[in-house]
């Protein structure tokens, strides 16, 4: 849940600020208000495209799970030395 908030926060917070600045400074948007929507959607898309990898990188990508909590064919697995495995790792 936290990563989703981190991904969406820049687009939700910075887009209105950027659009406000562009609407005041960019004469094209004042002359053609029909361009406001495509510009705004492009800014949001760019923000999400840039922020999503960064938000994913903030959190660990590997998680441990006890093998006895998984399907039966994972029970009794052994490592190369023949020792029973208790924990398995997976990529989230």
What does the pLDDT read at residue 20? Answer: 93
Q: The pTM is what?
A: 0.62
- 11 C-beta neighbours (distance < 10 Å), count: 18
Rounded to an integer, the average pLDDT of 29-39 is 92
**Average pLDDT in the chain:** 90
30-39, 46-55, 80-89: segment of lowest average pLDDT? 46-55
Whether residue 58 has pLDDT greater than 90? no
What does the pLDDT read at residue 35? Answer: 93
Whether residue 36 has pLDDT greater than 90? yes
64 Rama class: left (phi>0) / alpha (psi -120 to 50) / beta: beta
């Amino acid at each position: 849940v936290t990563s989703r908030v981190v991904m969406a926060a820049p687009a939700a917070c910075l887009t209105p600020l950027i659009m406000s600045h562009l609407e005041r400074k960019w004469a094209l948007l004042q002359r053609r208000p029909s361009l406001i929507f495509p510009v705004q959607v492009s800014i949001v898309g760019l923000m999400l495209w840039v922020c999503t990898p960064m938000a994913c990188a903030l959190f660990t990508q590997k998680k441990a799970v006890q093998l006895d909590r998984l399907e039966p064919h994972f029970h009794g697995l052994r490592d190369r030395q023949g020792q029973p495995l208790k924990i398995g790792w997976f990529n989230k």
